[in-house]
Structure 1
């Protein structure tokens, strides 16, 4: 069963939204659903382009639950989907619109935040308006704070958000930007690793979204580091990606090794704030993990201070980024922080 909602079709900059159930999207969306949305807006069903213009589709489920992998940009655009280097300088060029976007809840030390599929924190701008929804961050501002863009007709997968009203607006340049509770959503170019929130409180105008769409105004100085729980997985699998072969966990998420760790003997040096961003990989059977496409001789474990057994590959302890919800993709900016994909 699927329902179609039209949100303020007469409002300047408004975008038509179709809400589709996860069950309905287990197969490709029928053209009739798109035509129905166009009809609600008073448009003539005159072809795919006309039907898809100015639409997004909301799906109340994570992308991977429908067998959709990647990050919504495809392998060719994966590198450009990452934020700029660790500085507050503008990026070199605006980002391209994604085919699909996922909004997820991340448990950060400042409280629950909203992230995109790679786990990068999403922010709202105090100078933007929600009624009517409009973005006032353009030009150089949009390079420093990349808007979350989606292709017209694309799907927004909503994972864990309960009260936020997800929609979209047309920006002045004609691109479509995702909104939460009417507020345009952005990333911060200086967030270099998923789970970072370096943009929190910048200029007293930028704050991370809470899951209900309100601003998280928690001060950074009051944060308490809470280690993320272990990534319990039964199997390590070799998977081919656009960035070459990598090792993934049961969820299909890429696993990483910390360049600072010791390998002979295996030693984990991820402590303090690092433990809030990176989850140690722990075999579900409390021992060596099963392997697919990897030699079992390469896999062993080390005993952590809490008594759990962290899986190692070639002696290197393995981790999963705590906020990463993508499948079969590599976080390009992680390398600059000393995190290498396990291969």
Structure 2
């Protein structure tokens, strides 16, 4: 008698066993594979100047052609959020948006009455700052904030009547590449005037404020000056790995008193992450009955000794605890 597939029963069973073994092998090699010691059963247990033109920007007068959004060339307006002020040694006190980006004003606009004269191609290089949710920087008169309808219909933030913009070539908080462009664009001060350094000698330039996302992801990353790119939770607290755990089979060896000092990271939906590697991103059922998030199948923790975002007091504790990288590796762990 032959199996419906056309194979003899024994041959069919052999093929089925081979397929099952291959699937299991694929799963075990998908998690926790990093250089280091291997357990006896073969599973990895871990390691330790102003531009010329018409005043809109450089080159063709507006900025690079690819700076606009894909929806028709206009860069998307971003909400102002919580405004802040940072001291620049070169520019003076500069107003920034909630992400720490420099805000600019345009000499061809008017403040009385408020009017934006940047439209069409101009908006590709100088996206408007949306007035939605704008809050004055601490110590700044909130009555100076207002709004005007921009050429594209956006409700644009104004400060003392002057419409506010960002510059598409500013890639990170603290950039001010739009300063002086075309002799008409200038970083704005918190009162809407052009930012200017104080006449007296100013102290060393301070860093711009860190970005404060309005709705931070459940798990994301931050650039630590010593450790590099590491994982943080929704509250900005450093996420760690324990080198005594194993990735496959997934197992946490931090229970009891250890778990009180090193709380397990609760499950976070993949859609609620930013910059995290999704390989081996799954939920683990802990020995104590709780559920724990993993990256590359490695269980994740925070440290009770970290008191504020940015703390890394758990790094290297006991030679077994290390900050987790976006792909689940233990940052700075010694190789065995």
Flag whether TM exceeds 0.5 (same fold). Answer: no
Structure whose CA Rg is larger: 2
- The TM-score normalised by the length of structure 2 is 0.43
Higher strand residue share: 1
- The TM-score normalised by the length of structure 1 is 0.42
